[in-house]
Amino acid sequence: MMVRELMSRPPVTAAPALPLPDAAHLMKSRGIRRLPVLDGETLVGIVTDRDLREAMPSKVSTLSPWEATTRLAAISVEDVMRRSVLTTSEDSDARDAAYTMLQHKVGALPVVDPPGNWWAC
């Protein structure tokens, strides 16, 4: 089986400047745990639900809800995304992609074409 048969379409993506609360809302409303980050057509990073949780203020924080919201709105996806992203191509064998995911302990591989342009996840 080829990767192209397993790809999600249309892909849900984010721009690097997207504020963190907007990214969290997008991921929750779409029921996804990973959000590829694109600069134009180029994949520049990926942000996960774990990355977002780690950036959120602690429940035992001394910040008021207003202060926490204000500070969080100043953080963008670019500030917390992972810049080193493992990828695959749509012509790759799905078993090879699965092996790569297991070896590197990642839950998804964005699918890109040779110049690095985004396709799906």
Can you give the C-alpha Rg of the chain in angstroms? 16
10 upstream amide cis, omega within 30 of 0: yes
Q: Which residue has the higher pLDDT, 48 or 71?
A: 48
Q: What is the pLDDT of residues 4-20, one digit of tens each?
A: 766 767 788 999 999 99
Residue appearing with tokens 């745990």? 33
Residue appearing with tokens 């992609």? 97
HSE-CB of 54 using CA atoms within 13 angstroms: 10
CATH architecture of 3-85: Roll (3.10)
Mean pLDDT of 10-31: 92
Q: What is the pLDDT of residues 63-94, one digit of tens each?
A: 676 676 777 778 899 999 999 999 988 888 99
Put simply, whether the predicted model's pTM sits higher than 0.75 gets the answer yes
d(CA 54, CA 86): 21
